[in-house]
Structure formats: C-alpha cells, structure tokens
C-alpha cells in the first residue's frame, strides 16, 4: 500500500513544524547533550572492560587503544587456556558436556542473538 503525495507532504510538514519549534540554540544544546550521553555510555563500557581484564588497572594509561589491546590479549590467553584444558580432559578420557565448550557463533542466527544480548545489556 503506497502513500499518496498528500500524505507524504503532510508528514514532511509535521516534521518541519516540530523541527522549527526549536531554536538554533536549543538544537545545539540537544545535540551536545546527546553527544555527552553517547560518550558517557562508551566510557561506562570501557570501564566494564577494565574491570573484567586483570591485566588492566584503574590507575594505568586508560587510552582506548591500550584497553582494547590488553583486553584482546587477555581473551586470547583465555581461549588458549580453555583449549589446553579441553585437550587435557580429552587425554584423560574426561567427557566435557557439549554446552560447556564454547566454539563461537556458528551461523548468522547466533550472531544476531549475541547482538541482541549485547543491546539488552546496554
């Protein structure tokens, strides 16, 4: 069902009317406030990463590059340790329940589900 030209122009007028209600100073203030909220959210997520990564401390260099680099190194270390433990279990004939072994997202549905979980946690 397509909209008629009158409906489209009516919607445009509503948007223009709402937008024109705000002065330039108000628009700028809204933009600055939303940008500050965005930065605060990013900062909070980096704080979470720092708290979860033992090789990072609150007092050291808090550059984003440093945080991402050390976090990636820690994740690699965890993956290697898990692989080593799985290999040890296999060598000793210890069965590992399938749901305890993370193999990563296997298809796009898993990635979509992971993305939804991340959005919920924000």
Same domain, 118 and 92: yes
Measure the CA–CA gap between 65 and 50, rounded to whole angstroms.
12
- pLDDT by residue (tens digit) across 23-57? 999 999 999 999 999 999 999 999 999 999 998 88
Residue 109 lies in a domain: yes
Among the listed residues 82, 105, 102, 85, the one whose alpha carbon sits nearest the alpha carbon of residue 94? 85
- Residue 97: give the domain boundaries: 64-122
Residue 4 lies in a domain: no
Compute the half-sphere exposure of residue 37: CA atoms within 13 Å on the CB side of its CA. 7
Contact 43, 23 (CB under 8 A): no
Same domain, 45 and 70: no
Whether pTM exceeds 0.75: no
């Amino acid at each position: 069902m397509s909209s008629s030209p009158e409906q489209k122009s009516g919607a445009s007028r509503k948007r223009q009317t709402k937008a024109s209600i705000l002065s330039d100073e108000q628009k700028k203030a809204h933009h600055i406030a939303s940008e500050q909220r965005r930065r605060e959210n990013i900062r909070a997520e980096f704080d979470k990463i720092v708290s979860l990564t033992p090789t990072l401390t609150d007092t050291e260099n808090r550059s984003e590059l440093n945080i991402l680099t050390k976090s990636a190194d820690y994740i690699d270390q965890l993956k290697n340790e898990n692989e080593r433990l799985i290999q040890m279990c296999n060598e000793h004939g210890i069965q590992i329940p399938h749901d305890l072994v993370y193999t990563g997202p296997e298809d796009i549905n898993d990635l979509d589900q992971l993305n939804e979980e991340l959005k919920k946690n924000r």
